[in-house]
């Protein structure tokens, strides 16, 4: 059997070059009878495979009826055929036919419609990474969509933790200027602690507290059912395909600023594909009057944790170390964290930083202002040995080659953190 290309070569050599069948056969490596047979044919035809009867053919109709009645397995159908019809073939033949004949499941969905002000949907999405100092951090976007008007709010964060989730919802409600009747979320741990198969939902206490403060009802989708919050799912895809495509933000602040401008100039003023209206106009005309009023005082979205300060007057939180006054060394402190800052019971607040890439800092890499702090932190002569030991940390040990570099770094860092108020830059 020759292929179609060889057939047309035979025709070309015969009709254009005027070669006979023997010459064509020698040039193409075929037999002369084969060339003569294809020269008599007007077109190329693929060889038809001879049909062979199978032992399963008499039972095919019965198998189709069984599959339409109930989703039987191939093993069950094999057993039925053996018992009722005396089938003597192999199980593999039944399995192959069942895989071909089984009707594919069709999932039907119902389009959800909402009244003005009835609901808004919330979801996180991943948008790659963003530069952060000498490394890069994850860039996540929180998207909030009003279900009736499709008005969208979005905000970038480095994390998807509880404080970021609650703060994003608070900012969205302030952006909309009102509160819907319910807020639909997925089953993330920042919102839902447990969702049973029977429908019982246990919401996170802080999310329930936020709902009570603003007066909306929390609602969770069925697990593994993203179609139940399709408006915000489409919003996340729209941001990834329209805003993030071809864009490389240099910082979180720049990405957030560009995203806010994109929302006002593109996303919320475009003609929506489903409503055929601009989301902003539809919101102002119908949904804004239906929203509930915001409370006078915004909700507190900070998370509270308890940490003990070390002997160097530092508190470890979220992969960073924050300095505290000397009197709080080795004491239990309460730390309150928001996406922007970290505060403690000492009354001191610091900008929240991303976790450092490494924990050790070479002496030569300490900025000049920090070295000044270290140099000025000299223990007075009248200090007792116990006070000096508690403030300066362990004394560096000598070795055959001199001072150990890591001991020098620990002593210098402890001295700088003791005199934190005299430093011109924060000690991490």
| Contact present, 165 and 177 (Cβ < 8 Å) | no
How far apart (Å, rounded) are the C-alpha atoms in residues 265 and 43? 61
Q: How distant, in Å, are the alpha carbons of 291, 334, 342 from that of 347?
A: 38, 10, 10
Residues ≥6 apart with Cβ < 8 Å to 259: 141, 154, 155, 156, 239, 243
User: What pLDDT, on a 0 to 100 scale, did the predictor assign at position 356?
Assistant: 47
Buried b (16+ CB within 10 A) or exposed e, 59-86: beeebeebeeeeebebeebbebbeeeee
User: What pLDDT, on a 0 to 100 scale, did the predictor assign at position 409?
Assistant: 41
pTM of the model: 0.65
Instruction: Tell me, rounded to whole angstroms, the distance of Cα 128 from its chain centroid.
Output: 9
Q: Among candidates 13, 46, 10, which has minimal Cα distance to 30?
A: 10
Q: How distant, in Å, are the alpha carbons of 143, 157, 171 from that of 288?
A: 19, 27, 16
User: What pLDDT, on a 0 to 100 scale, did the predictor assign at position 411?
Assistant: 40
From first to last of its 428 residues, the chain has per-residue pLDDT tens of 788 888 888 888 888 888 898 998 898 888 999 988 888 888 888 777 666 678 888 888 999 999 988 889 999 999 999 998 888 889 999 999 999 888 777 788 888 899 999 999 999 999 999 998 888 889 999 999 999 999 999 999 999 999 999 999 999 999 999 999 999 999 999 999 999 877 789 999 999 999 999 999 999 998 888 889 999 999 999 999 999 998 999 999 999 999 999 999 999 999 999 999 999 999 999 999 999 999 999 999 999 888 899 999 888 888 888 888 888 889 998 888 898 888 887 777 888 866 543 333 333 333 333 332 332 333 333 433 333 333 344 444 444 444 444 443 444 444 333 333 333 334 33
User: What pLDDT, on a 0 to 100 scale, did the predictor assign at position 341?
Assistant: 87
How far apart (Å, rounded) are the C-alpha atoms in residues 178 and 59? 65
User: What pLDDT, on a 0 to 100 scale, did the predictor assign at position 354?
Assistant: 63
User: What pLDDT, on a 0 to 100 scale, did the predictor assign at position 44?
Assistant: 82
How far apart (Å, rounded) are the C-alpha atoms in residues 89 and 32? 45
């Amino acid at each position: 059997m020759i292929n179609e290309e060889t057939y047309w070569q035979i025709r070309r050599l015969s009709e254009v070059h005027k070669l006979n069948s023997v010459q064509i056969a020698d040039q193409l490596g075929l037999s002369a009878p084969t060339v003569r047979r294809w020269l008599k044919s007007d077109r190329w035809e693929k060889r038809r495979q001879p049909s062979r009867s199978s032992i399963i053919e008499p039972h095919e109709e019965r198998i189709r009826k069984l599959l339409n009645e109930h989703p039987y397995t191939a093993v069950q159908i094999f057993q039925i055929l053996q018992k009722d019809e005396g089938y003597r073939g192999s199980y593999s033949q039944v399995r192959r036919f069942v895989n071909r004949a089984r009707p594919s499941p069709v999932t039907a969905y119902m389009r959800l419609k909402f009244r003005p002000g009835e609901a808004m949907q919330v979801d996180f999405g991943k948008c790659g990474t963003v530069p952060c100092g000498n490394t890069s951090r994850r860039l996540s976007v929180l998207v909030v969509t009003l279900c009736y008007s499709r008005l969208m709010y979005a905000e970038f964060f480095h994390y998807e933790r509880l404080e970021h989730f609650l703060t994003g919802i608070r900012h969205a409600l302030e952006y909309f200027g009102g509160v819907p009747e319910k807020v639909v979320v997925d089953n993330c741990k920042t919102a839902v602690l447990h969702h049973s198969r029977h429908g019982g939902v246990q919401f996170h206490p802080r999310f329930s507290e936020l709902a009570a403060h603003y007066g909306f009802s929390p609602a969770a989708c069925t697990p593994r059912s993203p179609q139940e919050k399709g408006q915000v799912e489409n919003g996340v895809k729209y941001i990834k395909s329209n805003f993030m495509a071809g864009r490389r933000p240099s910082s979180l602040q720049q990405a957030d600023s560009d995203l806010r401008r994109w929302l006002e100039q593109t996303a919320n003023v475009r003609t929506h594909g489903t409503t055929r209206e601009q989301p902003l106009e539809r919101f102002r005309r119908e949904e804004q009057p239906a929203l509930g009023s915001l409370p006078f005082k915004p909700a507190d979205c900070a998370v509270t944790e308890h940490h003990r300060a070390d002997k160097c007057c530092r508190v470890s939180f979220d992969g960073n170390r924050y300095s505290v006054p000397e009197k709080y060394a080795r004491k239990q402190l309460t730390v309150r964290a928001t996406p922007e800052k970290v505060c403690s019971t000492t009354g001191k607040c610091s900008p929240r930083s991303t976790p450092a890439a490494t924990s050790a800092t070479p002496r030569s890499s300490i900025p000049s202002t920090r070295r000044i702090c270290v140099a000025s932190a000299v223990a007075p002569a009248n200090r007792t040995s116990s006070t000096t030991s508690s403030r300066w940390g362990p004394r560096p040990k000598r070795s055959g080659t001199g001072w150990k570099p890591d001991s020098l770094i620990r002593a210098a860092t402890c001295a700088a953190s003791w005199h934190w108020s005299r430093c011109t830059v924060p000690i991490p």
